[in-house]
Amino acid sequence: MRYAIIGAGMAGMLAAIKLLERGCRDLIVYEKGHTIGGTWRENTYPGLTCDVPSHSYTYSFELNPDWTRTQPPGHEVQAYFEAVKEKYGLEEWITFNEEVVSCVYQHGRWQLKTASGRQDSADAVIAATGVLHHPRYPDISGIDAFQGAIFHSAEWDHSTPLDGQRIAIIGTGSTGVQLVSALSTRASVLTHFQRSPQWIMPVEDRAYTTHELARFKNNPDVLQSLHYDEELESNIERYTAAITNPDSEAMQEIETIVADFLAMAVTDADLREKIRPDYRAACKRLIYSPNFYQAIQRDNVEVLVENVTRIEAKGIRGADGRLREFDVIVLATGYKPHEFMRPMNIVGSNGTILNNVWRDKPVAYLSISIPDFPNFFMLNGPNGPVGNFSLIEIAECQWAYIEQLLAELETGKCQEISATQQAMAEYEHARVEQAKKTIFASGCSSWYLDSKGVPATWPWTRRDFKAAMQKPDLTHFLTVGNAMNRP
Ligand code: NAP
């Protein structure tokens, strides 16, 4: 079988490594960028840090003794993936600077076209195109008139000076919070525009000592115990249990921690009330930060809780009518999260067009397979677990599941495999009903919500997710033909 993997980020690299491990030598990875890394290649903003602990944000088969901090800085994550690419010789299999623009199922094979006009075909496609990669630009009047530097957090302009500059950060997601923390000590003036203040979860982010680093290098058991840290595992289980049951004790515990942190860390009562969210903790993705509250209490930092509606040549006109002048405006305004592989034109069997199937919202059986799109599998596809735990772990679980479907094809049990319409409909119905009960639906805006306001996430616990990924129920899949009859 010939495989095409789309995307050489964390998930695409995983698929390539695993296929090579299975002995597959007929595969190609298409990557639109100039190197691997996906989100970690694209995001290079100051303060970029992964909020999942370093040793958890690591492939289970490639533990990393070299993480220098408990929370990995973005550049170290990118360096880690580069090192994995080298070790597994992935360069040989990846075609860079080739964006797949079309993927059409014809005569039992996927026909691919790239932006440069290259054509290819494959028996199976693995879409590993990521979730958050289409920056969302805010619709703010006058934005084009600004004479200073203005850019989205995912498109950082490294030629723009920051030290001693007057900087505005728009947005209070994980990105805005990390940016404010990092730039508050560098800017002469930093103004943080928070349309919706966020609950902040305290987290330790410290450098490992030389003694610890030596232990990681010399003792694989120590590394292993950090990767599967029992305390962290039980915290994650508790966290996902809390998300799925907003009335649980576990949820109350989270609410107490973040409320106490706000009370303790923000000493000015006016500021404290100004930034107190009016929705429940974890309704939006929970933000972990060791130093954000400290940053916003610096003398050079101002917090404005408002929607930015007017940018002018010299700065931002606030709700108070005052023009604040800036040298740099950063749009930490997030992403369009429901695009996935699009704008790629994807056409399944019988001419089924993905854009039509996904007109209302992206759906996939267990986030992995779409009816009428045979032998097309997604890693980190729609409605998956996007809470505060490692997407690497999630992708590994999904791969273990996909591999079993591939085995059906490889061993000749069938020629085509995709979820049945019935399995898709039943799964999506159950998912939506449960999603409406999660904390994400408790009354806030967030990128987790679909166009109807329903959380586009895996709504059960992490344990449930792992159980679901153990073994495909083949009665939920439509299998066609016998691969032995392949022409
Ligand atoms: P985000 O969570 O979608 O946040 C976007 C922010 O921009 C929100 O605060 C939003 O306000 C605000 N905004 C949009 N338009 C605005 C306007 N006109 N005026 C004022 N504010 C405006 O985006 P993100 O921070 O880039 O994070 C997205 C996701 O990326 C995270 O949830 C996380 O999954 C991932 N991420 C992860 C890490 C990590 O450490 N692992 C780091 C960064 C990002 P509203 O809330 O009112 O809409």
- Do 315 and 431 fall into the same domain? no
Arithmetic mean of pLDDT, 466-475: 97
91 within a domain of the structure (yes/no): no
Please check whether residue 383 lies inside any domain of the structure: yes
| Best residue for ligand 1 mutational test, from 172, 306, 317 (most atoms within 8 Å of Cβ) | 172
Q: Are residues 119 and 155 in the same domain?
A: no
pLDDT of 487 higher than 70: no
Taking only the tens place, the pLDDT of each residue in 239-286 is 888 999 999 999 999 999 999 999 999 999 999 999 999 999 999 999
Supply the CATH number for residue 432's domain.
3.50.50.60
Q: What is the mean pLDDT of residues 423-440?
A: 97
Residue 270 inside a domain? The answer is no
Q: How far apart are the CA of 127 and the centre of ligand 1, in A?
A: 25
DSSP code per residue over 52-67:
S-TTTSS-TTS--TT-
Return the percent helix, strand and coil in the chain, to nearest 5: 35, 20, 45
pLDDT given for residue 336 in this prediction: 93
Alpha-carbon distance of 313 to 139, in angstroms, equals 16
Q: How far is the CA of 334 from the centre of ligand 1 (A)?
A: 4
pTM over 0.85: yes
9-23, 78-92, 110-124, 234-248: least confidently modelled range: 234-248
- Residue where the block lists tokens 């809780």: 305
Across the range 158-171, mean pLDDT stands at 98
- 416 lies in the same domain as 471: yes
Check pLDDT > 60 for residue 364.
Answer: yes
- For residue 43 the two structure tokens come to 């995001």
CA of 285 to the centre of ligand 1 (A): 9
Residues 388 and 436 in one domain: yes
- What distance in angstroms lies between residue 51's CA and the mean position of ligand 1's atoms? 14
Which residues, judged by CB distance below 6 Å to any ligand atom, belong to the binding site of ligand 1?
49-51, 132, 138, 140, 170-176, 178, 193, 195-196, 285, 307-308, 332-334, 445, 447
Overall domain count for the chain = 2
- Position in ligand 1 atom list of the atom nearest CA 49: 40
Residue 483 pLDDT more than 70? no
Nearest protein CA to atom 2 of ligand 1, as residue:
173
114 & 142 share domain: no
Rounded Cα distance between 217 and 65, Å, is 5
User: Looking at the domain assignment, is residue 409 inside a domain?
Assistant: yes
User: Whole domain around residue 173: which residue ranges?
Assistant: 136-198+284-334
Q: What is the pLDDT of residue 235?
A: 87
126's enclosing H/E stretch is strand 124-127
What separation in Å is there between the alpha carbon of 376 and the centre of ligand 1?
A: 30
Q: With cut-offs at 50, 70 and 90, classify the pLDDT of residue 233.
A: confident
pLDDT of residue 200: 98
pLDDT in tens, 182-195: 999 999 999 999 99
Distance 137 CA to ligand 1 centre (A): 11
380 dihedral zone (left: phi>0; alpha: psi -120 to 50; beta) = left
Q: What is the arithmetic mean of pLDDT over 86-106?
A: 98
pLDDT band at 486 (very low <50, low <70, confident <90, very high): very low
Instruction: Write the residue with the smallest CA distance to atom 10 of ligand 1.
Output: 171
Choose which residue among 195, 198, 306, 392 to substitute to test ligand 1 binding: the one with the highest number of ligand atoms within 8 A of its C-beta: 195
Q: Which of 303, 334, 365 is the last residue of a domain?
A: 334
Q: How confident is the model at residue 179 (pLDDT cuts 50, 70, 90)?
A: very high
Centre of ligand 1 to C-alpha 128, Å, is 22
One domain for residues 326 and 342: no
Same domain, yes or no: 188 and 145: yes
Please indicate, yes or no, if residue 390 is contained in any of the structural domains: yes
pLDDT at 118: 97
Write a three-state SS string for 317-341: ECCCCCEEECCEEEECCCECCCCCC
Which run of H or of E encompasses 377? Answer: strand 376-378
Atom of ligand 1 nearest to the CA of 331: 7
Q: Are 295 and 405 part of one and the same domain?
A: no
Q: How far apart are CA 273 and CA 115, in angstroms?
A: 51
**Residue 231: predicted pLDDT:** 85
